[in-house]
Amino acid sequence: MSETGHSPGTAEAKPVDRSGPERHARDSLTSARPSRKRSAGPGPTLPRRLVSLAEASEYLSVSDWSVRAMVWRGDLPHVRLGKRILIDSRDLDGWIDRTKVRGA
């Protein structure tokens, strides 16, 4: 090893001076502004109509397996997307209305 800490025959890295008027292609890419305006935040979102089993169980305050059993028994209509089971939030409200106990 030499006194600079490098093995003999290896080149030392020299700092690149970019302070002058000479500009490189890479410099122009990094200082370019985006061509599309970006919004300050996310736009308006649509209310979600289909919810997952976990979200449905949270909404009904029951376990995931209770919601699965309701789907398997046919008590709760569902939508299948591949292996995912999704439930319409309107059907959850309908199930609540159908199973309410009315006072006598």
- State pLDDT tens for residues 6-52: 566 666 667 766 666 665 555 555 566 666 666 666 777 878 899 99
Q: Which range of residues forms the domain containing residue 81?
A: 50-99
| Cα-to-chain-centroid distance, residue 3 | 53
Does 2 map to a domain? no
Does 14 map to a domain? no
pLDDT of residue 46: 79
Structural domain count, the chain: 1
Does 1 map to a domain? no
- Check residues 4 and 72 and name the one with the higher pLDDT: 72
pLDDT of residue 43: 72
Tally of CA atoms within 13 A in the half-sphere of 70 that contains its CB? 22
Q: What is the mean pLDDT of residues 90-97?
A: 95
Does 26 map to a domain? no
pLDDT of residue 71: 95
Read off the tokens for 90.
């309107």
- Rounded to whole angstroms, how far apart are CA atoms 87 and 6? 66
Q: What is the mean pLDDT of residues 57-83?
A: 95
Q: Write down the mean pLDDT value for the chain.
A: 80
Does 91 map to a domain? yes
Read off the tokens for 94.
């309908």
Q: Is 9 helix (H, G, I), strand (E, B) or coil?
A: coil
Does 34 map to a domain? no
pTM, entire model: 0.54
Does 61 map to a domain? yes
Q: Residue 55 above 80 pLDDT?
A: yes
Does 16 map to a domain? no
